[in-house]
Structures are given as structure tokens and as C-alpha cells.
Structure 1
């Protein structure tokens, strides 16, 4: 142990006295920004117009190649989705290699090769650079665009689209883009089932032959390669690439609305609302406001210490996180602030968003906020330099945006020199608090009227198109009449009530795996059992009987709470509409809604304990076409077939947060009024 001497005590007192003299009420001033040494790109241009940038870095025996096409944004119109297929089709086989051969050769050397509609990137160990360049050039020059691959990609795209139609964040993205840019703009259009289905192999080939030209391309090489070696390999692999004329496109610039506008997608099953507040901004990489916009965003909504986060999460507890962004783009940029909040605080959250936006523009930022933001961003910038792709991006950006050669080397100095006045000036220039698009995806019945305080509310569908105008409900129509109409549509009350029990088996496929769902309904004794098998193995079971319930997942069993049993009873009966009245359920007719293009009455079914589901019945046919259940997700009913005089849906599409893609379940076995015993419910 250290001996305590008089000298040691005196030195300690001096240290304490010195510390006491520091003014801790002031945030420490940032030191001088470090000088960033980024490998300077050496350049050369091939005769065909391909511009090449070489950043030599021999610290690791690796090399990366990034080829970028500089074309105008493309409005795809009735072929929206086309560009999403181009890269995968180019990599799906060449005149000398099949798709599998390409993948195997890449894996064998531990390399990477990626292709999109505007780029090709590749990387490998130095010793394998000839091989990866040969593969890269083969994909660039000799794609064969196989028809079967496009059909597979289209099916995958349609599945992803179906999933996104019920994903709140995806819906919010489409809605916000539609309002900010408009559907006739490249950044506002959306893929649809129709547009995806229209894409042909010839469309993909036409795109490839039109836009893959060296005279609009840049190639960045980063790694263990000198300029002289780069000239040699680039000429070897890319000099045969033929130049060509590439079309140009111009679009009207979107402008902010004349006043606040509110867009709403009614998603009745939501327990949260996805909020996005946005407006178009004129901001391009390299603009005088670009770096200050990075700092501004860090302060406003760039992380866990930002104003939005501290207000909406830490102070109000409305959300897990609230964020913002200032996107820069050659065509048009965008300011956006967003969060997912509890349904009941939707309007309160929007109030806080608008309050913070106004405060940012009117009052500006503080010196302490500025210094913290600079420190955080400087750290992020430094860490990004560890990636070769960052260096390649810097080299390309300098050329594409006409930036000074030392733009990134002096990036931190430029950021460090920014003052509070600079940041406040940028806020006033980029944001107009009176001209915002406010979008919400959530339970319309709960939030629509509350949102009206911010502006006129316009309803949209889940693809960002204006919602169809639904006819008003006949004043004489009631929830009871809707249910009676449904019972009449399926065959009448007498035939429906003759079904006392049922056994169903449904088959589905999830990402290549067989799924079986077995259901047993004993309506006479209010018993219900469900079993889910994956690949033939029982994964989940649930049973409701004698007023109690239990569930088992992979052999782990647990008893249901009273609330869970109450919610489960909504699905206990084979034909639940026959029992709503005797169960004491409350029915509310919530207007006519658009269900995938079909006008339908929405009925809210609530139990005495507060559990609820939403059912939708076709206005025309009376049949139930959709059920929204907070616990199990959305179920769409179709392919009604007559069984024992009653119409039964033989196909169900199930969309749930618990499964990655919509579940297309077909009834493969159905027994009506079978003999049941206790074993069926054990």
C-alpha cells in the first residue's frame, strides 16, 4: 500500500484546488479538428469514356472495385419494379456460366460480387483479383437474362409486396413519398401487382442495353493496387465496353404544400400509429448547407440524446424512439421526422413534433448542443474511414458532385468551424413549419378526428393512393342487420345452426416449409382445440374448454389468463356470428370500408371484458371477407364452397407479424358434425 506523506497530501490539495477553479457550467470547447489523411485518388479515363479512380492502400492484401452508372432518376410508370430485377437478372447467368457456377466461383475464392440497376461492385483478396474481375466483366458483357429467373423474381417481388401491404412502416413510407413527391415522380411511384406482372425479359434487356454504357460510368478501385497496375487491368477488362447515347430525363420539382396537410391510412388492427412529418427540400451533397444540415439533424433527431428523442421518449413516454433526417439528392431532398407511438397519444405526439420543429426554427440551437453534435459526428466520420467502400464513395462523390479535391480531407475542419448562427440559418432555410405533410398509419376510428386539428385529413389506401370514396351507410342499416345478412348469405340460420361441431385441416407453405393447421370446434359444449405442425412436427397447440384455456409452444405449456381466454373465445365457434348475442358481445357498425377493392361493412365485435376483433362483410354478397384480430393478425376469406348447405371459405390468407410472408392456407380436410370425445381436447 502506498505510504501517505506530507508531500502527497499537498499535491492532492493542489489538484483539488485546480479542479475547483474549472467553470463546469460551460460545455468544454472542442479542440482543433484533426487532420484526416485520406488516400488521394489518382485518375484516368479510357477511350470509351469510363472514368477510373484509384485509391492505393496496401495495408491489407485486398482490393475492391465499385462501378457506378450516373443516370437520371427513372420514372418506370406501368412497369414500376423493372429496375429492381435488372441486377439480379444480370447475375442469373452468362453465355459461359450458369447462375450456380457464378455463385460457386465467387464463394470458392471468398469474394463478393453485387449487381444492381446502377452499379456493379466486387471485392477479393489481392491474389484473386484477376478471377473476380473476370467474373465482373462476364456479368457486365454477357448476361443472358433467363426467362425462368425473371418469373421467380416476380413471384418473390409479389410476395414481398403482399407482406408490405400490411407492414405499417412500409405503408407509411409509401404514403409519405406519395404526398411529398406525387405519384407521377420517380420518388413517389410505387410497384403494384399489375406493374410487376407487366415486366418482361425484353424490358430488362432494353434497360441494360440503354443504360449500361461506359461514358456515364465511374469505376473506383480501392486497395492494394497502384495506378499503373490499375491502368493495365482496367484496359484488359473494360476497354471493349462500347459507349452509347443515354437518354436524359427532367421532372417538375415537388414543392411544400401551401399549408399543413394530413394523410391517413386506416389500419384498424394497429395498436400504434406510425407518424411521419415531411416536406421536400432543396439540398444536394456539397451545398453550403449540407454539412450544417448533418449537425442540425444530429441535434434535432439524430440519436438518443436528440431533442425529439428526449421529448417524445424520455419525457413523454410516447414511443421507443423518435428520429429525423435531412436527405440530400441531386433531384430533390427531403426533411422527415418520424416515430411509432401508442394510438391514444397520436395527436399529442404530433403536437410535440410540431412544437419541436417550431422551436428549432424560431429559437435555434445552443452552443452545448452544437459541441455535442460535432463530437458525435466526428467520431462517426472517423469510424467510417475504416471501410474501403467509404473511400471509394468519397472519390466518386468528388467527381459526380463537382466537389473540391480536399472536400473530405477538410470535412471535419469545415464542420468544426460551424457556429450556432450557421446552424440556425440552415434550419430557417430548409424547414418551413407552416408547410408540412403530416402522415399517419393507424386505427382511423381512434385517430382521424383527433388529427383534424392539424389540417384537413385525406384518407389513402395502403399503397399511397387516395382511398376509394365509400358510399354512406344506409341510416336503416345496423350491425345486427349486417350479421343477419351474412347468415342468410351462407345458407340461412336453420342450416347454419345445424352445424354443431367441425374438424378442419388446412395446409400452407412458409418459405418452402410445409405447415399444417388442425382446428376442432365443439360449438354445443364451447370447446375448441388448435394444433400447428411444421414439417410434420407439432410446434404449437391451444385448447379452450370448461371456461379455461391453455397453450403449448414446442412442448412448453402454460395456462391462459382470464383475459386471454376471453379473447380466444372470439374464435372458439365454427360460425361465431350465430353466438354473438348469447355471448353478450357488443356489435358496432363502423361504416363501409375498402377491403382490397371490395366495399365492406366493418363490424367491431367487443366482449364484456374488453377484447375485440373487427369483421368485414361484403356489401354486395354479405359474406365475411376479412377478420382483424390483435392477437393473430389479419385473415382474408375466399373461395366459399357449399358444404352441407352452408357456404364455407376454403381459402384463408393470414397476415401476421409472427410470420415473414402472408400465409396462403387451403382447407384440405373438413368434417361437419363429427363425433368428438375428450381426447380431441387434451
Structure 2
């Protein structure tokens, strides 16, 4: 019975295989497949109404779920803030919400909205501000009242402004942590200019310059109904919703005068080679290109197809040739950017190993040139077109997207059917159109090149491409003292005071002879949640290595400095130390008295004079070397260091730090302060009590490598 079953199964399979053979032999390769025209997309049409004060409404019913959402866009942005108060627009948009209104504090707003699972959010970008609302249908009237009050009558309490400033300063302090972020930021500044409102950075000084009065004035001038577009969608009846919106907003009157215009962009095509040196990376981030274009132009469809073919996705030339064939790239991308109100940026971007940096740049420029000099193939155009058209439908997969997009087009002055018209144009683009657009808009001989990488590891010098402009990305620190050149007399007095101090500590030669030192200590750190006690160990191998280990509740944190490289090792893994942490490690080593003994003839010691510090007579000396400096206060009675004072970068931005030294004890004939008190802007921030000190003991050199 079993044999028969097996035999019959075999016969059936045999017959099935042969019956399918003709089909298999007639199959086409996937590249030969032809696709029919895509079905038209049915797009819901919102009701459009303009209120008497100029607010343009878009209302779209959607009864699938009992939610109502609303988003306003208004003509306000960082493009119109004073350059010396960069950050004003963003902080205004943030504190409009966090600070609440004149009738309800921000924390009360949070509490009321959380109880009903609703949200109200505000923000201000480069050329537009926004205010959004989301709520269950049953709570709409209550949430609309809160939304209107915040939009029109924000309180701007000082404490919320200060919190927003801290958040901005924290972002400034971290802006050089990510290499990719550096590359994108600096390339944008190359194209628009570092002082352009489309590219400029907020700095500590510009944030400090912002006042509450500035926020009030900015809100009054720019947050107004004139030019505002308001989209509403969800579970409502249009006539009823229109009545509520009229009642809420139609009485709002705005500022007199015309609306501001987007600042113009002035760009001169040129060839430049620019480098941001980073010795802590083993790959290069490369950007190259020039200015892009505007949306809704006669050539836009051809440029969209050009972009798809050159750098737009997995089927692009950059992906296939530079990444797959030549093996140059870990990551590659690009875009011919176009904006509605000002020109976008054309860029090609690639990450490659350091040794192939120059080779990669040549390949990128080659592909850009070929795009303009050699016609694309019909196959390339068809793949690019199908890719774009297949993604087109997802622009309309929800009523939410439809109404927000139409409102956005209305706000920026684009036709409401802009995307549909672009689709029709893309369906008609030819090979000749793409080549003509490439020849007209691409300038392969006038590209700006930016590399963020380690020039010591480049296989060929970057200068082979052209003269190299090295970009300094140091974050300016306000209040950081620029030490003037000391007079000969001030230098002599300063060095004499330091020599006397080193002698009191055990002798300059003895201190300078120490090769390694290990401190074990108990550290008490002041935090917003209270004091936190930590075990700490710091090992220094002079002149340029240190390893600090902190035992914290969440695990052990290790900070390693090895020459010009710094690592942060946490329970989650190892990573290059963020720039502020690396800089703090370098500065801490520079301020160590044993390091001072080693380089006493290399530093500038500037005598300030005799004064009082904490009611004690002291000699004050400014110690500096290059950009590093600190004030040293030497106890006149003992000639030992009593304190130092310096400016550094914390997570909240620049801060003035004081370290006060107490309880000196003898270790191998050298005086060591057993207790250190740390103060941040006059408030106690930390306390360190030494448990043990080991000088020139055994040190595992691998601790500085992992």
C-alpha cells in the first residue's frame, strides 16, 4: 500500500512539472516586465474658508475614530530674529507652550491635558511657526479654549525661559559630538554662508542675550492671524466646527504692516576644498555639491528624475557604482534639494574609510560629470519613474496627510494640486529632458567639498584636489578670559610665585619627576535630586594619559584620555568621548600641580597681585598655555595652592568653576590636598575626599586603551 502511494505521488509530481514547463520557458526577466498605468488616486477635498481676519481654514471630516486634530502655521521664524539673539524664535515657540498662558500656568496645562489624553504643542522653525492640537471629540471645546489662550496670550514666565535656555545650551555643548551632524551643519554653512539665517548657529552668547521682553515682542510681531493657515480634521460636522472656529479666532487682530518675506539667498558658484580635522575617527564623512533650486519650476520633474538616477535610492548610480562596484562607501546618499520659499541644497554624501578619501571624492565628481555629459538609459529612467510613482500613493493614505499637505501648500504659496501636477509631469519626462536638466543645473567643476575626517590617515593628501581650507568648529565660550601678553616684570613675578609654591609642595624637580599617580577618593556630587555619593579612582600617566573610573548606581563609568584621543566606557559599551568631556579631561590634566611642575618653563605665568581669597591673603597668578588658562590662588602664609578658578563647559553650557584645596598631607615627600571642594557659579557642586594616593606604582598601560 505504501509503495503504491509513493508511486502515485511521484507520477503526479512528474506530470505537474511537465505541465508547468511551457510556462517557465516563457517567463520574462524581471527587468523586461512591463507595468500598466497606475490607477488614479481619489483625493478627499477639504472645505476651504477664509475668516475676516485672514486666517485660511481647511476642514476635513473623518468619522473613523472619535478624534479631532488641528494644526496652525503662521509666519514666524528664526530667519527674522536678530543675529546676536539667535535662538530667540525657537525659545519663543518652546515657552509659548511650557510657560502656559496668562490665565493658566504651563504645569497646570500639562495636568489638565494629561487627564483627558489631549495635547497642545507649539514650535517655531526657520520660516514658520506651528501650533497643534489633538483630543478626543468629547473634550474638543475645552482643549480649543486652552489652545487659543496659549496661542494668543502666552505668559512667558522667567523660570521656563531659563529652562529653555539651559536646553539650548546643552544642545550647543553637544553639537560637535556626532561626526555626521558636524558634516551636515558645516556643509550647509558652506552653501548658504555661516551668517545666513538658513545656516547660522545659536551660540552661548546669543542665548544669554535673550530676555523675556524679547520673547514678548517677537510673539506680538509674528504670531498673528495674517498669513495663518489652520487645518482641522477628524470626527466633526463641518458647519458646526466652522461656527466654533469663527467664534474662537475671528476676533483676533494682528499687527499692522506687510508680512515678512523669506530672506534672499546669494550664491556664487565656486570650487572649494574644506576640512574639519578629527583625529578620533577612522572614516571620512564627505559632502560635495552646490546650491539647489526651487519647487514648482518647469524643470522640477526632470530634476526629480535626475536625482533618483544619480543618488536617490538603492537603484541609483552612487549606490550601484560607488558602494557596490567600487566598494568605496559604507553609506552613500544625495539629493537635488528644492524648497518652496528659498533655494535648497544639492549634495552628494558618502562615508568611506580614511585611506580612500581622495579616491572617493574623485569618483563622486566623476558621477556628477557623467550625469551631464552622457545620456541616461531608458531603463534607468523607467526604474526611477516607477520608484517615484509607486511611492506617490502613500502621500494620500490618510485624510490627515491630505489636509496637512494642502494647508502647507497654501501657506507657502504652492498650488493646492502641486503634487498631482508634478506626477503628471514626471510621467512625461524623457531621457533628453533629464540630460538637459543635468547640463543646466549641475556644475561638477564648481563644487564645494567638505571632509570631516582624520587627515593623517588619508591615502593621498586632500591638497591634491585643491587648496585646503581648515574649518575651526571650536564652540565660542562667552566670558572665557583672553589672557593678554604679560610684561616681562609680570612674567618674572608670576614664575617666582609658582616656583615658591612648587618648592613648598616638595620641590619642582621632585614633582616633575613623578611619572604616574593614582588617586582613590570618595566623591559627593550635588544634583537637582540631591547629593549623590560615588567611589572614584583616577590614574594619570604624565604627560598625556588619564583614566577616571566612577562607580555609579547604574554601573561603572570610565573616562579615558590617551594623547589626542578620548573614550567613554559605560555599561552600554564604549564610544569616543563627547567633545566637552574630552576637553574637560585635557584641561583637568593641564591644571594638575604635577603637570605644572613639568611645564613650568612652557607656560605663561602672569602676576596679578596680592589679594584676599575667602578672607585669606593670597598671591594671584594667571597660568596659561595656548587656549588653556586658569587663575591660581597661592596661600601667602604656606605658599601652598589654596584654590583655582576657571571657565569650562558643563552640560548646561559655559560655567565658572572654583576648586578649593584643604587638608594637605605628605605623600612621598610631596604635599597633596586631601580634600577638594568644587563650586559652580558660587554654589557648591562637589566634594572630594582622598582615601589613598600612590605615586609611581605599577600601572597597567592597557587601561588607557579600552
**Which of the five TM-score ranges fits, normalised by the shorter chain?**
0.7 to 0.9
Matches of residues 517-528 of structure 1 in structure 2 within 5 Å? Answer: 518-521=536-539
Is contact 1:68-1:120 (8 Å) kept? yes
5 Å-filtered alignment, 1:6-45, equals 11-19=19-27, 22=28, 24=29, 26-45=31-50
1:225 corresponds to: 236
Query: Paired residue for 2:62?
Result: 57
Report deviation, 1:441: 2.1
2:519 alignment counterpart: 503
1:83 is matched with 89
**1:46 shift after superposition:** 0.7
Whether contact under 8 Å (1:256, 1:435) holds in the other structure is: no
Q: In 2 relative to 1, CA 308–75 (structure 1 residues): closer, same or farther, beyond 3 Å?
A: farther
Q: Work out whether residues 27 and 368 of structure 1, in 8 Å CA contact, stay in contact via their aligned partners in 2.
A: no
Match of 1:274 in 2: 285
- Distance change >3 Å, CA 640–CA 162, structure 1 → 2: farther
1:322 pairs with one of 318, 332, 336 = 332
Q: Which residue number corresponds to residue 606 of structure 2?
A: none
Deviations 1:419-472 (A, max 9, x none): 33333333233321122111122235555982223332222221699xxxxxxx
Match of 2:433 in 1: 422
Q: Residue by residue, what CA displacement relative to the aligned partner does 1:559-595 show, whole Å, maximum 9, x if unpaired?
A: xxxxxxxxxxxx9998997999xxxxxxxx9xxxxxx
Superposed CA offset, 1:282-313 (max 9, x none) = 322x2233344333323222233322233343
Establish whether residue 539 from structure 1 lines up as the match of residue 550 from structure 2: no
**Separation in structure 2 between the aligned mates of residue 351 and residue 489 of structure 1, nearest angstrom:** 60
Label 1:27 to 1:421 Cα distance change in 2 as closer, same or farther (>3 A): farther
The residue that corresponds to 1:599 in the other structure is: none
Distance 1:10 1:523 in 2: 78
* Alignment correspondent of 2:216: 205
CA contact (8 A) 1:515 1:533 kept: no
Which of 214, 238, 247 aligns to 2:249? It is 238
Question: What SS is found at the alignment partner of 2:419?
Answer: coil
Question: How far does residue 411 in structure 1 lie from its aligned partner after superposition?
Answer: 4.9
Within 5 A, what are the aligned runs for 1:102-501? 102-117=109-124, 118-245=129-256, 246-249=258-261, 251-257=263-269, 259-284=270-295, 286-329=296-339, 330-409=341-420, 411-446=422-457, 450-462=461-473, 491=502, 493-497=508-512, 501=517
Name which one, 1 or 2, has greater alpha-carbon Rg. 2
Residues 523, 49 of structure 1: alpha-carbon distance in 2 compared, 3 angstrom cutoff? closer
The match for 2:484 is none
* Post-superposition offset of 1:351: 1.3
Bigger mean CA offset, 157-166 vs 414-423? 414-423
Per-residue CA deviations over 1:518-548 (Å, capped at 9, x if unaligned) read 2254979xx998531224x6525799xxxxx
Q: C-alpha separation between the residues in 1 aligned to 2:537 and 2:206?
A: 38
Match of 1:293, SS? helix
Query: What SS class does the counterpart of residue 4 from structure 1 fall into?
Result: helix
Secondary structure of 1:439 counterpart: strand
Residues 9 and 352 of structure 1: CA distance in aligned 2, closer, same or farther (over 3 Å): closer
Whole-Å Cα distance in 1 between the matches of residues 23 and 137 of structure 2? Answer: 54
Alpha carbons of structure 1 residues 521 and 175: separation in structure 2 relative to 1, 3 Å: closer
Separation in 1 of the partners of 2:475 and 2:369?
A: 27
SS in 1 for 2:436: helix
The DSSP-based 3-state class of the residue aligned with 1:278 is strand
- Residue 71 of structure 2 contacts residue 132 of structure 2 at CA under 8 Å; is this kept in 1? yes
Counterpart of 2:100? Answer: 93
SS at match of 2:445: coil
SS of the residue aligned with 1:243? coil
Whether the 8 Å CA contact 2:166–2:652 is kept in 1: the answer is: no
- Between the aligned partners of 1:97 and 1:235, the Cα distance in structure 2 is 23
State the alpha-carbon separation in 1 of the partners of residues 455 and 280 from structure 2.
10
How many angstroms does 1:138 deviate by? 1.5
Question: Contact 1:74/1:249 (CA < 8 Å) preserved in 2?
Answer: no
**Secondary structure of 1:67 counterpart:** strand
Q: Distance in 1 between matches of 2:45 and 2:321?
A: 43
1:502–1:671 contact (8 Å) kept in structure 2: no
5 Å-filtered alignment, 1:472-621, equals: 491=502, 493-497=508-512, 501-503=517-519, 505=521, 516=534, 518-521=536-539, 530-535=548-553, 538-540=555-557, 621=623
Q: Is the CA contact (8 Å cut-off) linking 1:47 and 1:239 kept in structure 2?
A: yes
Q: Give the CA deviation at 1:194.
A: 1.1
Q: Secondary structure at the match of 2:156?
A: coil
Name the CA distance, whole Å, in 2 between partners of 1:297 and 1:437. 18
In the TM superposition, residue 209 of structure 1 has moved relative to its aligned partner by 0.5
> Is 2:688 aligned against 1:669?
yes
Q: Is the 8 A contact 1:45 1:52 kept in 2?
A: yes
1:601 is aligned to none
Cα distance change on mapping 1:533 and 1:133 into 2, 3 Å: same
The equivalent residue for 1:608 is none
CA distance in 2, matches of 1:652, 1:534: 26
TM-score of the superposition, structure 1-length normalised? 0.73
Q: How far apart are the structure 1 equivalents of 2:500 and 2:456? A: 28
Q: Which residue of 1 aligns with 2:74?
A: 69
Which is further off, 375-384 or 328-337? 375-384
CA distance in 2, matches of 1:355, 1:660: 45
SS at match of 1:214: coil
